[in-house]
Structure 1
Amino acid sequence: MPTFDQLTAKVKQQLQGFALNQESMTTLTVSMGASDVTFQANGETIETLSRGIAEVDDELILVQKWDESSGTVTVLGGVNGRGYSGSVAATHSTGALVTSAPAFPRVRIKEAINDAIAALYPALVVFATTNFTFNAVQVEYPMPAETRDIWYVTGRWVGPEKVSGAMPNWRFNPKAYVTDFPTGKSIQLWDGLTPGQNVRVVYTKAPTTLSSGSDDFATVSGYADRVADLVVWDACKRLLPSMLSARLQQQAVEATERAQLVSTRDIASAVQMYASLYAEGLQRERELQFQETPNYATFQGS
């Protein structure tokens, strides 16, 4: 049920709690276009927007100067200062949050979340199914391009029992002849079945990463909602080491002050804590994966 934006907020909350970070924030007083080279910030809610990086929604913007009296912020380098550091220049509505020098930009958090989702495979797989009709003179059948492996295969029995029995003699062909199988994926069946009966193949695929802020984690990725906790822990583990780099910039007042509060040992301990939470959670999810969707090897105890 959590969305991409909600996961991002959760990760940021975890990281800011550790960093004792108090970012200067304000809001846009006028909507902003994707190519605007100035914007209006509310001077009553922030003391300064210093030259450097500012974040508006998911976009990073280079700031040249801020006129405190008028609230006008000038973008450094004009349009070249929009969509900085791999972010995307976008439109922003009145009231959008503006953060000065964000410690953990949303664009970096979202990258870490997607990296964490992608890294769950193959330890955790996403399941999908395909069905086709058994043909007595056909051994090999097409599979979807997204197929990574076969979990189990069943064939429908003839009769009123409505039973689909296991078909254990099959072979997945990930390099099928594309002239016959355009996806390059196929399955070869060596079990007999009454012609015309349905064959169901449960296969595994990789998760899909998130794109829009409103993307629902479970719907898009294919994982259960509870797996979102693993993604949050892994994202935190990936992002926290950046604080070590910040400590090297001792010419920055913030880095100098933070160095007295948060040592390298503290950072390493936090990384280890998230790594431990992730490892325990991943093991638990792997066990549930076989309990909730047993393949016939595990079901039969072989």
Structure 2
Amino acid sequence: MTTSISRRAVLAGGLVSAAALTLAACGKSASGSEVDGITVKDGVATISIGATPQPHVVILQWIQDNLAADAGLNLDIMSIDDYQVPNASLNDGSLAANYFQTPNFLKQQIDDKNYDLVSIADVHVEPLGIYTSKGYTSVDQAADGGKVLLNNDPANMTRGYRLLETAGLITLDDSSSETLTDTDVTGNPKNLQFYPLDAGQIPASMPDAELAIINGNYALGAGLKPSEDALVLEQGGADSPYANELVVRTKDKDNEYLVKLAELMNSDDLKNYIEQTWTDGSVVPAF
């Protein structure tokens, strides 16, 4: 079952409303410890897991339909379209796991919010891309002084500035820095103007800008085809530092059911599914 949680379900503190996540429950691990978000009945463990819609929910649903039953698992999939909600819901026990974020985003969230979370599987990479609605075929065609939209969370903003440097549009003082902003731009021959924006709003805001840097999941959700529509695209694959991860509470990382789920998400069956479904390279296995 997949339940959708929109931004409207987010309360002031970034938490999902109680009504949206009332399905969370506790179960027993092999060691006898209780795990929030896991219910065990008749030998089947139901795991509440939050994920962004594209492609994460699609991948989880395929696992549910094809692999979960044989592993004694049932996935209760929560579709969440806000980057701030899945970790908050994992931290407060509403979920047992989430699947939406990259290592740099997880680190930023842990540093900023003191979450005790850990990745237990690298699953896939969605290359970040530079897009336009202006019909350009190269980033060099962007007008001098043009507006560039970037994701406003620090981890993805940093990733965006690195991609702009890779594209030859800017020079950074130190591209290896953990956090980059416009103050780190030392070379900007086109005098581009940088506008941070909520990631989910960027695709719809493209007409107002020369260039837009869009996360892969939001590009797919907007009907964009990264391999064809992106003017510049990150490299994907197992060597990418931006694998989308299966994340759990650190105290639950050895729970037998979460370990089984991690194994399914790093299985040859899933790898083949990803490669056969996203043949254009917009979603690439990270294992």
TM-score (structure 1 length as normaliser): 0.28
Greater length-normalized contact order (CA 8 Å, ≥ 6 residues apart): 2
TM-score (structure 2 length as normaliser): 0.29
Which is strand-richer, 1 or 2?
2
